[in-house]
Each structure stands twice: as structure tokens, then as C-alpha cells.
Amino acid sequence: MPNLRCDFADFPERLSFAATGPGTSWAGRLVYDDCEVSLAEVTAVYYRRPTGFRFPDHLTGEVRRFAAREARHGLGALVLSLPGVLWVNHPSKVADAEFKVTQLRIAAEVGMRVPRTLVTNRATDVRAFARTVSRLVYKPLSSPVIKGDTTRLIYATVVDPADLDDDAIALTAHQFQEWVPKRYDVRLTAVGHRLFAVAIHAASEAAYLDWRSDYDAHTYEPVDVPSHIAEAVAAYLRRFDLVFGAFDFVVTPEGEWWFLECNPNGQWGWIAAHTGLPIASAVADVLTGRTTCD
């Protein structure tokens, strides 16, 4: 059976399809350049941050938006409806698992340590919460990107309650957490039953606060996963019906692991490149059925 590696952004320029049905399933094919795959042959799909469809430049804005909606409800829904297909991960499961408020609750329920957290748009409540913690950190609830004249990430930020802008706080929801003192961060990549944990040692103040802010300051070290964390990670994945998860933990000077978040569609390539861990092979094994996720 051929493997079809394509980006849905290449529809309709390089990727095309045809399907008839429905019956018990849709029958048809996907065609990408010179590669053709029967829909009946599709057994697994690796869903990795697909970009938007690319349409011809002559389409106007409203026509382009209509074409994109039709493509999503046609090609997208067709692939989603294929029976018996393993997804890493299914888009609807990814969507369910992206809400950090839900992540924190589920992590606590499966036995992980979770920082005390306040979600609010009331500055008075932020000040009251700040009095109960030794250090207050702001973290965005959604994708931490602002696009204006330039695109920039929003990193975890230490907050002085005296500097809060009450009007800005009132505008939308915000997440505040207690700061957990740490020896190092851990990125734990879970692929089915296989866990790849890497300590991220920060050599700069910015990276110590949020390791995403200064990649050049990192050193990486594969570490063992405590058994209770492995069990909690497995339970977390089951709760969200995920095959893959990129978990972020902090490890305290006493060796305790604290859950921060899990990206159900997170990056792992740079970790594999720095450490030589066989994460790509693990993903391939799951997709081809050489290992199972049950």
C-alpha cells in the first residue's frame, strides 16, 4: 500500500480527490502529483498542523472564503469520515484537548501536581490571589501569538500585582499561576505507550522563566520518567482519547514533577535532533501498526 504524504494546503493545485457513496463508506481516491491512493487503503492519518488551502490568486476574498469552506466540508469531512482510521491525533480530539482550563483539571484528576491557578478578568481577584502565592506568573490561555506589524510570542511573565492595569485585565480572560521553583523543565513526548522525556536546562534568565524564549540557552538531557508520572500521562491521554501528546513539566529541586500543559499537536523534531531519541520511528510505528495504542 502506498504512503501518501501531502499537505491539504496543496488542494486544489497538487491534491485532488473523487468519492462516491455513501453506502457503508465513501469509495474513491486521493491523487497527489503522480501518487494515487484508494480511500479504502487509508488506515492511518498523521494530522500535523495543516495550513490553509491555497487557491488561485484571481479569486476574490469572498469567493476564496466560500471555496475554503467548501473544501473543508468536502475534502476535510471526507477524510474525517473514513471508518477504522487511526488518527495521530484526530482533529476533534485535538480541539477538545487544547483548552488549558480543561487540561489542568484533567491533569489534577489523574494524579499530577498542578500549580494553583486563577482564571479571571477581575484585577481585584488577581491581587487577592497574589497574596496567597510567593510569586505570580501570567500565562496566555490560547495560542501565545499576536500578529500585527510583526508576529510575536507571548511568554510566561512574572507579574507585580502593583503594576496591574485594571482596565486591560477587564477586557478578556487571563490566566495567573503560582510560580513553582524548578531545577529544570521537562518536555515529555508521548507516542502511544512510548514516552520520551528530556530535561531542558536553561542558561539564561529568560529561558529559566520560559524556555521557549531563548532556545540558544538550552542544553538537553534525556531523563527517566517516574512510574507515577507515566501512569498519569497514560490516563491523561485516555481521558482525551489522544495517541500523541507533548507534555511540559517542571521538576523542583526536590525532584517533584509538576504539570504545566500538554500540546496535543506539539513539536518534537528539535528535541529528536538534539538528543537522537527515536520519536519519528515511534510515530511511524504507530501509524503503520507495528505498535498499538490500546
Q: Three-state secondary structure along the chain? A: CCCCCCCHHHCCCCEEEEEECCCCCCEEEEEECCEEEEHHHCCEEECCCCCCCCCCCCCCHHHHHHHHHHHHHHHHHHHHCCCCCEEECCHHHHHHHCCHHHHHHHHHHCCCECCCEEEECCHHHHHHHHCCCCCEEEECCCCCEEECCCEEECCCEEECHHHCCHHHHHCCCEEEEECCCCCEEEEEEEECCEEEEEEEEECCHHHHHCHHHCHHHEEEEECCCCHHHHHHHHHHHHHHCCCEEEEEEEECCCCCEEEEEEECCCCCHHHHHHHCCCHHHHHHHHHHCCCCCC
By the 10 Å C-beta count (0-12 exposed, 13-18 middle, 19+ buried), 3 is classed as: exposed
User: From CA 160, how far away is CA 141, in angstroms rounded?
Assistant: 19
Confidence grade of residue 179 (pLDDT, cut at 50, 70, 90): very high
Cβ–Cβ < 8 Å for 246, 189: yes
Cell of 110: 489523574
Residue with cell 500500500: 1
| 68 contact partners, CB below 8 Å, separation of at least 6 | 52, 53, 55
Mean pLDDT, to the nearest integer, of 129-150? 79
Cβ-in-10-Å burial (0-12, 13-18, 19+) of 42 comes to middle
The whole-number pLDDT of residue 158 equals 86
Summarize pLDDT for 252-284 with one digit per residue, the tens: 999 999 999 999 999 999 999 999 999 999 999
Q: What is the pLDDT of residue 293?
A: 60
Binned at pLDDT 50, 70 and 90, residue 142 comes out as: confident
Query: Which pLDDT belongs to residue 110?
Result: 97
Q: How far apart are CA 50 and CA 11, in angstroms?
A: 11
Strand order in the sheet with 15-20: 15-20, 27-32, 35-38
pLDDT, average across residues 227-248: 97
Q: Is the pLDDT of residue 228 over 70?
A: yes
| pLDDT at residue 148 greater than cutoff 60 | no
Looking at residue 146, its pLDDT comes to 57
Kindly state the greatest CA–CA separation across the chain. 64
Name the band, by pLDDT with cuts 50, 70 and 90, for residue 151: low
Greater pLDDT, 79 or 154: 79
Query: Per-residue pLDDT for 153 more than 70?
Result: yes
Q: Which phi and psi (to 5°) does residue 41 adopt? A: -90, -10
Q: Are strands 136-139 and 117-120 parallel, antiparallel or unpaired?
A: unpaired
pLDDT band at 94 (very low <50, low <70, confident <90, very high): very high
